């Protein structure tokens, strides 16, 4: 009697082969089991770059948040308007409806730091949609104030969401941020 039958030996080889392949699978393979939404707002494109890097890493649906009335391109006019919106706790209207967060497991939420927190349209999104019970993952681009008070503001606005560690990337450094984005996603351990 042989210790291993031909059949069990073959089975063993297949199993070992699978194990050897597993670590090489891209993130998107394990992410396929989780429904992922990447929601982001960007005015000059820095946050768009990071959103695309996250999408490349985890897959899912990539959706840009747009306001019904577009923001001005002139920097001084824009900064003044953004400050006024913050002062008045404005809730700028969305250009079009967004996917329902309840249909996803993990929602990445991206934005530029505007006056030390999120642009007010992000508050519109967080109040208008139901993030209860969802994993919310913030990411922002900035000009020096990193996340500002944005993560606390997200937690306060969505107290029943599970808000994870946020990523911040200096706006002018986004092109080099892919390794940072990948390391952050690995550290979050959300895909396994």
Ligand X SMILES: Cc1cc2nc3c(=O)[nH]c(=O)nc-3n(C[C@H](O)[C@H](O)[C@H](O)COP(=O)(O)O)c2cc1C
Q: Which residues bind ligand X (CB under 6 A)?
A: 42-47, 78-79, 82, 112-116, 141-145, 171
Judged by beta carbon, residue 11 or residue 173, the one nearer ligand X is 173
Task: Provide the minimum distance between the beta carbon of 123 and ligand X in the complex, in angstroms, as a whole number.
Answer: 15
Task: Provide the minimum distance between the beta carbon of 41 and ligand X in the complex, in angstroms, as a whole number.
Answer: 7
DSSP letter at 23? G
Judged by beta carbon, residue 70 or residue 144, the one nearer ligand X is 144
Phi, psi of 99 (to 5 degrees): -60, 150
- Residue carrying structure tokens 């349209």: 121
Which residues, including other chains, have CB under 8 Å from residue 136's CB and lie 6 or more apart?
107, 109, 154, 158, 161, 162, 163, 164
Q: What is the CA radius of gyration of the chain?
A: 21
Task: Provide the minimum distance between the beta carbon of 18 and ligand X in the complex, in angstroms, as a whole number.
Answer: 41
Task: Provide the minimum distance between the beta carbon of 35 and ligand X in the complex, in angstroms, as a whole number.
Answer: 25
Judged by beta carbon, residue 33 or residue 76, the one nearer ligand X is 76
Longest alpha-carbon distance in the chain: 85
DSSP letter at 74? S
Judged by beta carbon, residue 134 or residue 166, the one nearer ligand X is 166
């Amino acid at each position: 009697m042989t210790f291993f039958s031909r059949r069990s030996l073959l089975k063993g080889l297949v199993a070992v082969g699978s194990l050897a392949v597993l670590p090489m699978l891209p993130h998107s393979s394990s992410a396929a089991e989780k429904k992922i939404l990447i929601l982001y707002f960007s005015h000059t494109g820095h946050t768009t770059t990071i959103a695309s890097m996250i999408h490349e890493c985890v897959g899912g649906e990539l959706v840009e948040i747009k306001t019904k009335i577009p923001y001005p391109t002139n920097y001084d006019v824009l900064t003044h308007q953004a400050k006024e919106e913050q002062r008045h706790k404005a809730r700028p209207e969305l250009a079009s409806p967004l996917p329902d967060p309840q249909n996803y497991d993990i929602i990445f939420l991206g934005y530029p730091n505007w006056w030390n927190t999120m642009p007010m349209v992000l508050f519109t999104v967080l109040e208008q949609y139901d993030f209860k019970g969802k994993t919310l993952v913030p990411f922002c681009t900035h000009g020096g104030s990193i996340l500002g008070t944005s993560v606390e503001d997200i937690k306060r606005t969505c107290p029943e969401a599970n808000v994870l560690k946020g990523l911040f990337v200096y706006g002018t450094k986004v092109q080099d941020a892919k390794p940072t984005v990948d390391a952050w996603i690995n550290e979050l351990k959300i895909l396994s």
